[in-house]
Copies of this chain bind each other. A is one copy, B any other.
């Protein structure tokens, strides 16, 4: 685990923030090289699959020319949802480092833990709470801004 990669993931999360998207960023690293990155673009792309992790996995598979992302580590600022946690398992990613826990849909420990489901093809190593405060802060700020916008609209 290298903190600089989580810092990079946070930079991508900031990119989502500036696009008025729920701020989540992700990087995938193999042999100390970034092979994929992503940031949440669900609203701007109007596509439910455009989470940060999915964009990063897609890029890494294209770069490495294989669906098997063995030897890869994934850094993401928020605990993956069921879709992204499932994609990480499909991609055979070795290790996952995430920032903030997600009590609403986090699937590596919060609402469930996919690594505890028996019979799957692969189980990545998981470590949560990396740069937790910075990851959380960005999300809290985003939702605060959203609420302000909503209440301003209401008062027009």
Contacts and interface: CB of A to CB of B under 8 A. Distances in A.
A140 interface: no
A82 B48 contact: no
Contacts of A121: 104-105
Copies in the complex: 2
A60 to B, nearest CB: 9
B82 A49 contact: no
A89 to B, nearest CB: 7
A49 B58 contact: yes
B66 A46 contact: yes
Interface in A56-112: 57-58, 61-62, 65-69, 81-87, 89-92, 103-105, 107, 111-112
A111 B119 contact: yes
Contacts of A67: 42-43, 45-48, 50
Contacts of A114: 82
Contacts of A61: 46-49
Contacts of A1: none
Nearest to A89: B82
Interface string A4-38: 00000000000000000000000000000000000
B49 A54 contact: yes
Given A49-B91, A82-B89, A83-B87, 18 more contacts: A46-B65, A46-B66, A48-B90, A49-B58, A49-B61, A49-B90, A81-B90, A82-B107, A82-B114, A82-B117, A83-B86, A83-B90, A85-B86, A86-B86, A104-B120, A104-B121, A111-B118, A112-B117
